[in-house]
């Protein structure tokens, strides 16, 4: 049976921009939409020895990456290089897969002398990670339903659910689970999840070329939580893969012995109220998150006193929402959402950043009037990616929301679709490999 690991997407319900600063926290929910990674031994001809790992993403066109790997000198770890062949000559690099593979194999080689055998890796994404044209077809199994998106990966429209963090987390977890015995790595233990978190954070930051807040990786590993970011300095000493001593540095980061990871991840008391559900609406526009974040950070630096006062008040309102989710009434939740949105709009006005654009304000105001809708926000960094709603968890309410969105689209107000993804509490987990055999 192949080794199979899945990791959830995320929605930052409260704490956009604040989560970049260790002085504040973010309320992040895992989602039922998951990235799945399957690993099995790569069959070779008798007498043929390969050092190759073949990665494919069959829901997309031309999505296969072949990697060669070898142990370097000077304690540099395992070097990974994409192999160019007839089938891969036109492919661009996938830095998230390549970096996660290098970090995971380096860590494995640092704690065991067992040889790393060739492997075949399959990556599958639940459908809600990408905006789907009406022409997509589904490929079914006994449990999972994956769409054939019919396009190259670079041409797919993401819905903003945290696909890269879920990918790096699931991929790293699957590699570690495949090559290491349970005594050295297990997703069922707190120690194992901590190793996965640390390695995935390091690889994800390296792949995207910057040290982010890491809330998306934390959600992929641990699921729904209140998150306080780690200090960027924790990863600043890693240097480039293959450099002298890189293997030891990766091992220390994974085992938490070089510098204490000061991430704070709390799952206690964070919940979705009984009888309610968090649902996502894809707006299918997309936002330039990097430039938005840059402008907000410039504002905070230029107007320290005013920005601090606003952020402090927003943190209080975010904390109120978190506590109200566990023990409040529908009316109290409505008020909590409205108070957060009020401060988000104020931040948008002061920074000139469309954190809750007027189009999203109109959408949220209107959909909040649908019976059974408690409230909602533009999550994360805001903009035009998506909205998240807290609704009563029954078919009647979801039907009314869907009918509302059908009318909204028909009136030309925006191409908004209700996704199947819902908020859930669980993070990365091992799956039953036999449930994916239809892909082999």
345 and 373 co-located in one domain: yes
Find out whether 112 and 182 touch, Cβ atoms under 8 Å.
Answer: no
pTM above 0.85, yes or no: yes
Which range marks the domain in which residue 184 is found?
Answer: 3-267+426-439
Whether residue 415 sits in one domain with residue 430: no
242 and 111 within one domain: yes
Please check the confidence at residue 391 and state whether its pLDDT lies above 80: yes
Lowest mean pLDDT: which of 34-48, 238-252, 378-392, 417-431?
34-48
Q: How many whole angstroms separate alpha carbon 159 and alpha carbon 155?
A: 13
Least Cα distance to 162 among 208, 103, 118 occurs for 208
Query: What gap in Å lies between CA 225 and CA 425, rounded to an integer?
Result: 8
179 and 307 both lie in a single domain: no
For residues 303 and 255, membership in a common domain is answered with no
The number of domains in the chain is 2
Q: Is 311 helix (H, G, I), strand (E, B) or coil?
A: helix
Exposed, middle or buried by CB within 10 Å (0-12, 13-18, 19+), for 291?
exposed
pLDDT tens for residues 92-117? 889 999 999 999 999 999 999 888 99
Task: Give 261-320 pLDDT, tens digit per residue.
Answer: 899 999 987 899 999 999 999 886 655 677 899 999 999 999 999 999 999 999 999 999
Q: Are residues 318 and 236 in the same domain?
A: no
Instruction: Report the length, in residues, of the chain.
Output: 440
Q: Are 306 and 417 found together in one domain?
A: yes
Same domain, 257 and 305: no
CATH number of the domain at 293, please. Answer: 3.30.70.890
**Quick one: 88 and 220 in the same domain?**
yes
Q: For position 171, what pLDDT does the model report? A: 98
| Window from 44-58, 126-140, 157-171 with minimum mean pLDDT | 126-140
Residues 232 and 256 in one domain: yes
CATH value at residue 117:
3.30.230.10
Q: Is 321 exposed, middle or buried (0-12, 13-18, 19+ CB in 10 A)?
A: buried
pLDDT computed for residue 82 by the predictor: 94
8 Å CB contact between 9 and 30: yes
Residue whose token pair is 């309102």: 317
Model confidence over 131-149: pLDDT tens digits? 765 445 555 444 667 888 8
Q: Does residue 405 contact residue 370 with C-beta atoms inside 8 Å?
A: no
Say if residue 432 is in the same domain as residue 417.
no
Nearest-angstrom CA–CA distance, 27 and 278: 13
pLDDT at 72 over 90: yes
Residue 227 and residue 290 in one domain: no
């Amino acid at each position: 049976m192949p080794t199979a690991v899945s990791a959830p997407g995320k929605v930052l319900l409260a704490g956009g921009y604040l989560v970049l600063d260790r002085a504040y926290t973010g309320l992040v929910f895992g989602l039922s939409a998951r990235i799945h990674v399957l690993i099995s031994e790569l069959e070779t001809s008798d007498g043929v020895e390969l050092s190759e790992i073949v990665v494919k993403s069959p829901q997309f066109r031309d999505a296969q990456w072949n990697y060669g790997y070898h142990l370097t000198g000077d304690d540099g770890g395992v070097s990974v290089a994409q192999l160019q062949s007839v089938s891969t000559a036109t492919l661009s690099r996938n830095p998230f897969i390549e970096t996660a593979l290098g970090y995971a194999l380096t860590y494995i080689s640092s704690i065991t002398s067992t040889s790393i055998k060739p492997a075949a890796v399959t990556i599958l994404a639940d459908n809600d990670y990408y905006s789907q044209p009406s022409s997509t077809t589904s490929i079914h199994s006994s449990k999972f339903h994956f769409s054939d998106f019919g396009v190259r990966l670079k041409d797919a429209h993401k819905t903003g659910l945290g696909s890269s963090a879920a990918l790096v987390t699931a991929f790293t977890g699957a590699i570690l689970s495949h090559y290491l015995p349970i005594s050295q790595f297990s997703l069922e233990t707190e120690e194992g999840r901590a190793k996965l978190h640390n390695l995935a954070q390091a690889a994800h930051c390296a792949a995207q070329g910057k040290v982010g807040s890491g809330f998306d990786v934390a959600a992929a590993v641990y699921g729904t939580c209140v998150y306080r970011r780690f200090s960027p300095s924790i990863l600043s000493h890693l240097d480039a893969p293959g450099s002298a001593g890189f293997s030891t540095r990766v091992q220390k980061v994974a085992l938490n012995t070089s510098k204490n990871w000061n991430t704070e991840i709390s799952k206690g008391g964070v919940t979705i109220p009984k009888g309610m559900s968090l649902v996502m609406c894809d707006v299918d526009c997309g936002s330039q998150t990097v430039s938005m974040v840059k402008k907000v950070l410039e504002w905070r630096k230029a107007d320290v006193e005013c920005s601090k006062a606003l952020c402090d008040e927003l943190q209080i309102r975010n904390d109120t929402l978190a506590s109200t989710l566990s023990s409040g009434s529908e009316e109290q939740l409505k008020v909590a959402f409205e108070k957060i949105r009020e401060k988000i709009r104020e931040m948008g006005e002061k920074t000139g950043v469309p954190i809750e654009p007027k189009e999203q304000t109109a959408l949220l105001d209107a959909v909040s009037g649908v019976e059974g809708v408690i409230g909602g926000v533009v999550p994360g960094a805001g903009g035009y990616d998506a909205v998240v709603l807290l609704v009563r968890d029954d078919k009647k309410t979801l039907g009314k929301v869907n009918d509302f969105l059908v009318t909204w689209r028909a009136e030309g107000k925006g191409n908004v679709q209700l996704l199947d993804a819902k908020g859930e509490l669980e993070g990365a987990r091992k799956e039953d490999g036999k449930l994916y055999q239809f892909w082999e």
